[in-house]
Structure 1
Amino acid sequence: MSAPTILVIGPSWVGDMVMAQSLFLALKQADPDCQIDVLAPAWSFALLERMPEVRKAIAMPLTHGQLGVGQRFSLGKKLRAEAYDQAIVLPNSWKSALVPFFAGIPKRTGYLGEARWGLLNDARSLDKQLLTMTVQRFVALALAPDAPLPPTCPTPALTVSAAQQQAVIDTFDLDTVHPKILALCPGAEYGPAKRWPASHFAEIARHKLDQGWQVWLFGSEKDQAVAAQINHDVSGFCQDFTGRTTLGEAVDLLSLAHTVVSNDSGLMHVAAALNKRLIALYGSSDPGFTPPLNSQAHILSLNLDCSPCFKRECPLGHTRCLVDLSPQQVLDLITIRTPHA
């Protein structure tokens, strides 16, 4: 009997794609010979290439939110030649289930979502009280419908080779003599209610620079302004990578860091999957829903009565859940976790 082939319809966010690796690992645990392909946005290929469980990444030609029924039909028709045994659809939208249906994949697994009866023939009801974490919801789809829940979730583990590390060292002409590198991730795509103040990040940077550490700043082009503010406050002594790297380069650079301080963001999940010493800062979001999946991670949240509110901007106008989370609390954790710093 040949090994089953599985097409996973992947999510559209960095953090969710990292957490999807737990599903891939669970599938491999159930059947080590299974072959996993992932249909996903092209930007995510850098992550999928660092997940040994994935055989092949297939580009989704449509952007997040586009319907494009005709394009989905054409893609599904093309994928029929792959003769997949099963599709697992991670997004909950109706349109995300179209390609596996058009591809004629015999078993199509996912949560009911937007009335997806028919498109899915292994449709599951999502009990949000039982499956409280995103990663649990992903991994549960690898199991039989009657399996005990919540499932045990394997830890994501991105693989970065020494050659990939050397490549980014050469590309950015990095100093690798200094033993300690602090990575700061001050952005958060969702909105300002998830972002720790730039002045707080700057204070962390200043203390570690004074102790001889290197401090690297990470993020997308959208995070360049906040990174510039942090770097200005420390007289430009940080290495600023915001908007200067591909996602793959950012992953490989983070793999060189000793400690990472991050908002609840995609890069936080990347750092966790790299098994970094991580301090994760939570404001408007819920650390119980999308925590960093790493035993070395330490979550800081003030657990105010008004949080988590899940808002992009603080509805009360003060963002105390983050403003009142002091730099000293973070510095204390860095000191505790790096006694020889």
Structure 2
Amino acid sequence: MSYSNILIVKLSAIGDVIHALPVATALKQQFPAAKITWVVEKPAYDLLTNNPYIDELVIFDKAKYKSLGGLLKHGRALARQLKAKKFDLALDLQGLFKSAAIIYLSGATTRLGYCNMRELSHLVSRPVFGPNQTGHVVDRYLDVVRALGCEVNQPVRFPIQITAEEAMSAEAVATHAGLRQGNRYVVLAPGTNWPTKCWPVSHFAELANMLWQDQIIPVLIGGRGDQRLSEDISQSASIPPVDLTGKTGLKQLAHVIKQAVCFIGGDTGPMHLAVAVNTPVIALFGPTDPLRNGPYGAGAGHQVLLTDRACRDCWKRECPRHEICLDVITPGQVYQTVGAVLTKCSATPPKNSTIKSKK
């Protein structure tokens, strides 16, 4: 069966939207004449701009729908907007009440969801239970399009388009912060949305010192909410890392990560962004399962370091034992893994580069 107007609903978060990108690719390759529309929330919108496999973006502003009055006022307008597109296929890759409501309002004739549907969303879209329902979330999403007859090319790609203007602006921000073009650097992402996913400040600072000694520049990244964390790391390090925290948009951040020799961080959106732009990842995992949420892609040079605790994979935001989940992963372990990644990627750090850093 062929489709001409396809709706994808994947609203957030950043990592989840990245995980769903290969779905659009597979759909466009199978149905090249189809128009693909993606409904997304504002924080992840930039990830989808200029994408060759997505024809139209619709922003879902969830703040407008938090009250009954807002739902009545804006829901009708959204329904009119979506129904006018005459979707013959809608995919719910969020699997929540709000995504189910959007799918229902779209009026799509065929509605499918992935295997982990919650909040009664399975009553609106039929869940697809494919061969990867216990595997990585990327493959769980791809099972949905496989059920439609789509071929999934290997290796799986995550199309994020960085324009020349976005690259230039990223380089300008980096240069202003003290990162000179041509120097080798490692991106450090200390911020997470769960306390249990955090690697200690002291560990990041010690790792930064080790990297400086090898003339590899440590670069801190994150959102504005991570600025205090980055400041603490800078104050604890012998030489402050270059700090880009809160200074980049998503596409600028993608460009900065793409130029890095590797990325170090936990189970967060920036980690999955590093995977998408083909930068080797050293992922620090404890409360979540790397088989489901880890850096995707075998043979891509990614490394996962697991906490040595019997309670790992607990999926708890806060530790009931009041332990620091990841502190048993030492800076020395991560530093050795950086060396292994650089060796595998045939990357040799410069020995006589001039390094400028602003605190």
TM-score between the two structures when normalised by the length of structure 1: 0.88
Shift of 1:331: 0.8
Greater mean deviation of Cα atoms: 5-14 or 32-41: 32-41
Q: Which residue does 2:352 correspond to in 1?
A: none
Query: How far did residue 178 of structure 1 move?
Result: 4.0
Shift of 1:113: 3.3
1:25, CA displacement in angstroms? 2.1
Change (3 A) 1:161 1:258: farther
Question: Deviation at 1:139?
Answer: 1.3
Residue 40 of structure 2 aligns with an amino acid whose one-letter code is A
* CA RMSD in angstroms, aligned pairs only: 2.8
Sequence identity percentage:
26
Q: How does 1:45-64 map to 2 (within 5 A)?
A: 45-49=45-49, 51-63=51-63
Shift of 1:129: 8.1
Aligned partners of 1:187, 1:92: CA distance in 2, in Å? 26
1:160 corresponding residue in structure 2: 162
Aligned positions of 1:132-143 closer than 5 A:
132-143=135-146
CA distance in 1, matches of 2:233, 2:332: 17
**Alignment partners' CA distance in 2, 1:281 and 1:7:** 35
**Residue 30 (structure 2) pairs with residue 41 (structure 1):** no
Structure 1 pair 243–286 and aligned structure 2 pair: CA distance change class (3 A): same
**1:134, 1:97 → 2: CA distance?**
19
Superposition pairs of residues 325-336 of structure 1, within 5 angstroms: 325-336=329-340
In the TM superposition, what is the alpha-carbon distance from 1:230 to its structure 2 partner?
Answer: 0.9
- Map of 1:10 onto structure 2: 10
Q: Is the 8 A contact 2:28 2:34 kept in 1?
A: yes
Q: Which residue of 2 aligns with 1:170?
A: 172
Per-residue CA distance 1:101-138 (angstroms, 9 max, x = gap): 22322212225533346633xx1255798433222221
Match of 1:312 among 317, 321, 328: 317
Of 219, 222, 246, the match for 1:219: 222
Length, aligned pairs only: 335
- Where in structure 2 are there 5+ consecutive unaligned residues? 350-359
Q: Output the CA distance in 1 between the equivalents of 2:317 and 2:123.
A: 35
State yes or no: 1:268 paired with 2:254.
no
Partner deviation per Cα, 1:194-237 (whole Å, 9 max, x = no partner): 01111111111111122222221111122111111111122553
- Secondary structure (helix, strand or coil) at the match of 2:282 reads strand
- TM-aligned CA distance change 1:44 to 1:202, over 3 Å: same
CA distance in 1, matches of 2:55, 2:3: 13
- 1:101 matched to 2:104? The reply is yes
In 2, are the aligned partners of 1:136 and 1:153 still within 8 Å (CA)?
A: no
Secondary structure at the counterpart of residue 290 of structure 2 = coil
CA pair 130-97 structure 1, distance change in 2 beyond 3 A: closer
Contact 1:287 1:299 survives alignment (8 Å): yes
- Mapped contact 1:168–1:249 kept (Cα < 8 A): yes
Query: SS of the residue aligned with 1:230?
Result: helix
Q: Is 2:258 aligned against 1:255? A: yes
Distance 1:153 1:256 in 2: 21
Cα displacement string for residues 309-338 of structure 1 (whole angstroms, at most 9, x for unaligned residues): 11112222223x411111111111111222
Q: How far did residue 2 of structure 1 move?
A: 9.1
Q: Hey, what does 2:124 align to over in structure 1?
A: 119
Change over 3 Å in CA distance of 1:130–1:167 after alignment to 2:
closer
